[in-house]
């Protein structure tokens, strides 16, 4: 196969990933044609590098030196996962649906608590069954089709969760999808989940990516969301507890119907290298979407948020609001693009990224963009990067607060403005506590 000019020779990691597919193709269940086409696409372009515009600030080809193997959980890993889930940190008011090391685990999920109007199945079972609705939905209407990581996920997807919310259903308790990695050695997981929300339904979703191991894990996860007309969906993602050298890439492919409301938030308090990429399409009139996020970074941690919001239908509204707090040597990335198609008249869009730098050696890369092909729209974007205000610190110190406490108070207020976007009060309170704990660790250095 001829390689493009940007990929003259394959890296060791690229070769290992392609060989892993060739070696395990017979073990990967269902969607053979989809998998083969995705791997052919990945083989042709390789891992994304700085020459790929959307990956310019996160050169995955250089950062991923070795591809970790896929490992099924052993008995010790299962016992450890069960212990963690039964502990205080694993007890929540949500209905837990667990994927462990890339495999859906009904035995560790709260299936007995599923309410009427919600159906949950394994992705691998759905692929074997060949349900046309699932196979069509999994490609996300072509969103992210050129992205190498999305293609790699499609080729190697081990398992995931398929959730169907019936039209008109109102689900009181949140549904919590947990992607957990555990074990004593470096390993990789490729997870793709699908949530189909029927017309007029109302549901709250959370998705957590966590590694309960100090090993350098590699997670490639994708969530496909199909939101029906008049549906209302609140969706919160959390990426945390990543070990040193860990890599986590999470892709969201969302399509939103007419008169629907979609509120999405991502919290990244402790990561190794994390990238959250969003491909959203507003397909129906008068849909309303909001994307927000907060990243708390220290050391050599690297967090990248890249999103493309595509307005296809008229009279739609989109808002994007992201904040970063960057301690010494950490790196933040925000790349946001809002695309307004010719038929999407009366679009109302606004995008903002704000970052506070806590050291001269921290790095923040901002790249907001608008592509507008309609003439009756209201769209704007902005990005700010700065340090804590010395006058505000002096004001608080003059009233008896130590400098460290004054800084923490200002940073907490800055973070809470982003966390206020979370609709779930219990979850918002939990993230506020996590932010305070992160700031306390900073002050203890």
Strand partners, 367: 335
- 424 and 277 housed in the same domain: no
Which residue, of 284, 304, 336, is where some domain finishes? 284
Q: How far apart are the first and last CA of the chain?
A: 53
Identify the domain boundary among 284, 317, 338: 284
Tell me whether residue 436 is in a domain: yes
Domain count along the chain: 2
The answer to whether 311 and 286 have CB atoms below 8 angstroms apart is: no
Is there a domain that residue 375 lies in? no
Task: Tell me, yes or no, whether 33 and 148 share the same domain.
Answer: yes
Whether residue 91 is predicted with pLDDT greater than 90 in this model: the reply is no
Arithmetic mean of pLDDT, 248-259: 97
Which pLDDT does position 144 carry in this prediction? 87
Which segments of 380-424 does DSSP mark as H helices, in order? 390-397, 403-419
Q: Are residues 201 and 57 in the same domain?
A: yes
Task: Out of 123-132, 142-151, 301-310, give the one with best mean pLDDT.
Answer: 301-310
Q: Which residue segment(s) compose the domain that 426 sits in?
A: 389-445
Closest CA to 219 of 252, 186, 256, 257: 186
Q: How confident is the model at residue 76 (pLDDT cuts 50, 70, 90)?
A: low
User: Could you read off the pLDDT of 268-299 as tens digits, one per residue?
Assistant: 987 889 999 999 999 999 999 999 999 999 99
- Confidence bin at 88 (pLDDT 50/70/90): very low
pTM of structure: 0.93
Q: Is there a domain that residue 292 lies in?
A: no
The mean pLDDT value for 120-148 works out to 88
Comparison of pLDDT for 185 and 333, the residue scoring more = 333
pLDDT score for 1: 40
DSSP 297-313: E-TT-EEEEEEEEEE-S
- In this structure, is residue 382 part of a structural domain? no
Question: Sign of torsion, CA 143 145 151 154?
Answer: positive
For residues 5 and 346, the model is more confident at 346
Spell out where 111-160 has E strands.
118-122
Within-domain flag for 96:
yes
186 within a domain of the structure (yes/no): yes
Question: Is residue 31 in a domain?
Answer: yes
Q: Determine whether 62 is exposed, middle or buried from the number of CB atoms within 10 Å of its CB (0-12, 13-18, 19+).
A: exposed
Which carries the bigger pLDDT value, residue 103 or residue 211? 103
In a domain, 338, yes or no: no
Same domain, 276 and 394: no
Q: Assess whether 279 and 393 both reside in one domain.
A: no
- Say which DSSP state 323 is in: E
pLDDT, tens digit (0-9, with 9 covering 90-100), for 381-427? 999 999 999 999 999 999 999 999 999 999 999 999 999 999 999 99
Residue 169 reports pLDDT greater than 90:
yes
Which of 74-83, 363-372, 389-398 is predicted least confidently? 74-83
Whether residues 104 and 248 share a domain: the answer is: yes
- Of 266, 284, 302, which closes a domain? 284
Q: Is the pLDDT of residue 140 over 50?
A: yes
């Amino acid at each position: 196969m001829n390689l493009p000019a940007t990929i003259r020779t394959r890296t060791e990691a690229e070769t290992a990933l392609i060989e892993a597919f060739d070696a395990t193709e017979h073990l990967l269940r269902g969607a053979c044609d989809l998998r083969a086409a995705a791997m052919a696409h990945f083989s042709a372009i390789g891992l994304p590098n700085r020459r790929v515009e959307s990956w310019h600030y996160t050169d995955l080809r250089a950062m991923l030196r070795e591809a970790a193997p896929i490992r099924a959980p052993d008995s010790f890993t299962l016992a450890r996962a069960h212990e963690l889930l039964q502990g205080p940190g694993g007890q929540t008011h949500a209905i837990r649906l667990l994927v462990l090391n890339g495999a859906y685990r009904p035995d560790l999920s709260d299936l007995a608590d599923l309410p009427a109007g919600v159906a949950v199945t394994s992705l691998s079972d759905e692929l074997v069954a060949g349900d046309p609705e699932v196979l069509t939905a999994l490609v996300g209407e072509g969103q992210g089709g050129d992205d190498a990581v999305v293609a790699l996920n499609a080729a190697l997807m081990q398992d995931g969760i398929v959730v169907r919310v019936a039209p008109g259903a109102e689900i009181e308790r949140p549904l919590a999808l947990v992607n957990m990695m555990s074990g004593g050695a470096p390993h990789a997981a490729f997870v793709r989940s699908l949530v189909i929300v029927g017309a007029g339904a109302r549901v709250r979703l959370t998705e957590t990516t966590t590694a309960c191991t100090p090993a350098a894990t590699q997670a490639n996860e994708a969530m496909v969301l199909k939101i029906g007309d008049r549906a209302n969906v609140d969706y919160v993602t959390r990426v945390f507890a990543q070990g040193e050298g860990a890599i986590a890439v999470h892709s969201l492919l969302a399509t939103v119907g007419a008169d629907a409301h979609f509120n999405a938030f991502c919290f990244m308090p402790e990561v190794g290298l994390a990238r959250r990429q969003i491909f959203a399409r507003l397909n129906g009139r008068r849909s309303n979407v909001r994307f927000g996020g907060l990243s708390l970074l220290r050391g050599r941690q690297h967090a990248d948020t890249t999103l493309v919001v595509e307005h296809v239908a008229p009279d739609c509204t989109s808002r994007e609001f992201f904040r970063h707090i960057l301690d010494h040597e950490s790196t933040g990335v925000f790349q946001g693009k809002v695309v307004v198609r010719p038929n999407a008249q009366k679009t109302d869009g606004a995008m903002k990224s704000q970052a506070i730098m806590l050291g001269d050696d921290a790095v923040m890369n901002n790249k907001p963009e608008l592509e507008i092909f309609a003439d009756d729209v209201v769209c704007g974007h902005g990005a700010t990067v700065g340090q804590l205000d010395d006058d505000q610190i002096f004001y608080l110190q003059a009233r008896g607060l130590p400098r460290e406490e004054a800084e923490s108070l200002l940073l907490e207020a800055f973070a809470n403005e982003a966390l206020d976007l979370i609709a779930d009060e219990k979850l918002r309170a939990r993230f506020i506590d996590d932010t305070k704990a992160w700031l306390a660790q900073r002050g203890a250095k």
